[in-house]
Chains A and B, each alone.
Chain A
């Protein structure tokens, strides 16, 4: 009785404890038959051999058959393709010509259409005899090898050094579809739910080995360390779970668990002492479990990391990325799944959200407070309560009687609004959307073929079947101004609950035997459901703007390719220091796996952050690519001005820091848009040879120029910071120089967290304060030049209109600034056809680390002199006011869109 009472009181005070994660409601590997089976397989049990190797349609094709095929098991078809820039694709599926009971699901609309053009059509392959293998060239000194017996596929440098291998330990297993016989019972039960599993077992598992690797990273979304800890083998607890990839709505998730959260990206990156990286990606949308095996698990000691990949369904469609640089791996991955969409400028500013801003008065009030306290922000958000009874695309007419007017009032200040639209549709016959979706047959069906009926915010709900392109197009049309009554061009969208969250479903999601178009089972498509929803919404906003307005859609669920459709956030975190800390490894992981436009809720969604935590969170969050404050409706209000004058000042300063850096962030977003290299980077991405950085996930790089160290403990005024590399670093707060390759105990007073500019970089800023990014349009730039030991530095600046797709047609400015031999040069690096002009001036140039004290500079071609004097390192900042003075070129009067040189005299 006592324990019951205790448990009940825990239930009652759920939000006050971090222990309320309902672990038992989710399956462990042991409770998941395919996972349990795969995990207990011994190495060497795979007896498949590759036969009939040929070249077909530009691919290397082979059959996989058991060595002694006494049971007359159908062969599997293996096909290997090679793409430019070091990408090898391996597919293994059942032989469709043998008519399996059901065609296995291949995930559509994830790989970019341009990929096909990068395919290198294979014409021949070489044969090796010891052991018997077939070899093809990958280019750039790499080869892909199919060893025949036992079957293994690996990539090696031409020198022979292995990079990546699949099935090096004979762990491969592929459960072929069978016809259901009399008396076969394939049902699986978990708690109160029964999965009918009409097609039986169809799981796939295999090992992947990363050679010469110290750590592996990636496979979000988990709240764990950045470098993935082993989950099995020597030194790992027996009870340890594999990393799970299964999109779930997890109430009050733990800050340290391999448990799968809202999104799944089966992409892993390795990195080792040699400074080389490689990557492995499995395109599969079914539940996946991944073990990282501890060194020595196979009694071999090596610098290799072995991993075990297990999936419930689908096919083997995998990609090997050879690297060798970390940035090469992310570029290679991006060339397969796409780079991140170019966000509108406003979306890179500060977002203010709460569940819920209650009514129009509340909105007006919050908006005006930002002005009253001179705190910039760009977007105000409305959560589910703005709707009429959780019917999306509607407004609560009592609370929001004039939504258009409300949006216009924000819009005149350049501010936008975001409303929430979730995939669950209220089953209410008088609701137009439900009526239409029902009539058109657009809902996901349950296993009996009826519209699936689950429970979510509106109560009884059905879910739009986003797998179908036709339905997606229809969905996109719901966002037109005509269909979404009360919407205006300054309104953008938030897709929440798209895992999908089903409150009364197994593990709070949709039953695996629910059916999508074409008879696809939910189990096969689960992890991609939210991705298709995000895609449909984002495409809908493009349609709404007639292709002229870049969409902004925030999603919670993620899948490979999500980066093409918008931003994501790390879901319902908690107002605890540990959650602030884990936000960095989580965002680093997302960035590494393509999703660079990501952030965690500032302050923590659940619970009430103490002011110190909130301030620290703003200071770190100012560097998140996606910067949004959000809170649960049971929490106290926490807008930045509610904690006393000093705390207001601290939070304002953190937000201002972000706004001054917007030109830099925007340039980095463009880099990510072009190359796939993330905005937020692990240190080793910039310093691949520096081993001390490999497991550092408390500090991070913003682009190649800034290193930021968060403060993650209460009451701390110091932070231990490792500054990598051989060049120096300049403290952004006081201009002080630090030599790289060392760990320092840095001051971290309440007004700042340690942040450094890397010697050899140039960072563009806009130092004027404004209400929102919109008003900064015409403001002049500041360039901060951090000289390296050879008195050189370079950097870039990208500018476009900040909102339309015209940049795709060349309407942008892309400048490269180089400082060398005492001369700063601005050159155009946009293609010649690029055309955009800007009246903006560069009115302040700060020189850090200049060896002499010059007092003037010559500006060409204007042939004018500009004064050099000592000026503040940062305008208006809390720390700058302490009086740091640095060499400043005053009003050089050069335009940002033109070529010029400035010579230090």
Chain B
């Protein structure tokens, strides 16, 4: 690890907090609505922090989306698609969000976007990272992890060329996903709500310290790198024939070894994991992923090195 290569970033002046990217993930919807009314809690010196409901129609219906998943909609094709009002609602929203907070990939884009999500999976407070080379985000996540210790905060790295998806937050230079669970869709649980609030507080504290000139020394960050999507077993007609096994249910981030029970058929038989080695599953039994053919995703543990950073 070289301590000579300090990476400089410009001050993070423009920060957004997105809620309601999925309209039935209630912690983010509620927090952002509160902060739109009174944003004192999320303000930091020298930072303009904008709370924003990304999918208001889905929020009103308390459904994940109206036409298509907003958190998959920020592809280059969608962002440049002509058609205006004829486009699916979420594609129109993606273009609007890209205008307000982007354009994605340009120097005018927002510095940081926090996207607030809930999951029915037992993932605790997970931070989602989109690039292993984003030293600013790595340092932020290191800061958050230390701030909440001994409580833990797993970091999910989704850099997989096929499984990576075009998120709302990807419009920003430094996209950060907050995924807190387990919480049913449409339900607001106090413990989940408070946990998300605390994580975001530490994240904003980090930004304030960074902007004030604090230098963050090199560090390592343990992450779980997305490896493979595992679907439910299905019959010849594509119907699901088994459920996540009771031994795997709620065991996000715990090792799954070859031979361990993985699924239980509706008539009671066990299907075992037959991978080559130990993996760390997550997003186990997420309600929204039945239609995306995903029972869980496997990850592998990795340690990333973050360079020292300071403001330019």
Asked if A and B are interacting partners, one says no
Q: Which residues of A contact B (CB under 8 A)?
A: none
Q: Which residues of B contact A (CB under 8 A)?
A: none
